[in-house]
Amino acid sequence: MKFEEGSIKDIIIKPLNVDQRGWLTELFRSDELPKGFQPAMGYVSVTHAGVVRGPHEHIEQTDYFCFLGQFTLYLWDNRKDSPTYFRKMIIEEARNKVIIVPPGVVHAYRNTADEDGLVLNFPDKLYAGRGKKEEVDEIRYENDPKSPFQVWSVK
């Protein structure tokens, strides 16, 4: 299985507003969200220097990432009905960007800095459902050595 490089349909990239003083930015506004997208929760994570999170994909969930550190984001379109099926996309500099990842797009990110980095996410599904009583909506690939979604082999 070999993925072709290029942009992926439905991936949205939006810069956060940063100036010489630092930054103050609207992370999301209901009037600027993609039609039908409504965040259901929010969380923040710290990723240590050099660490990779993922790759995994969601069946129904859309992720709304805000990268507040030096990160590279890896994306693979695994949606059979997509015009960009079997395409991979690497965003070398995700810092200070909002990146919206739809269901069926495998994703992973690496902290490329020498210090911890923050990632905020405002997905449109609750983790493990209401009351955390449902199965988690993700297919994980990071422990599958035969997976085509290998961050360490991505150039």
pLDDT digits (tens, 9 = 90+) for 86-111: 999 999 999 999 999 999 999 999 99
Q: What CATH number does residue 52 fall under?
A: 2.60.120.10
Whether 31 is in a domain gets the answer yes
Whether 154 is in a domain gets the answer no
Whether 93 is in a domain gets the answer yes
pLDDT at 155 over 80: no
pLDDT tens, residue by residue, 111-122: 999 999 999 999
Whether 23 is in a domain gets the answer yes
Percent of the chain with pLDDT strictly greater than 90? 83
Separation between Cα atoms, residue 11 and residue 94, nearest integer Å: 13
Query: Is the CB of residue 137 less than 8 Å from the CB of residue 56?
Result: no
Whether 119 is in a domain gets the answer yes
CB atoms within 10 A of CB 42: 13
Number of domains in the chain: 1
Separation between Cα atoms, residue 35 and residue 154, nearest integer Å: 32
Range of the domain at 56: 4-140
Average pLDDT over residues 44-70: 97
Query: φ and ψ at 130, to 5 degrees?
Result: -60, 125
Whether 129 is in a domain gets the answer yes
Whether 68 is in a domain gets the answer yes
**pTM as predicted:** 0.91
pLDDT at 154 over 60: no
Average pLDDT over residues 133-145: 94
Residues contacting 155, CB < 8 A, separation 6+? none
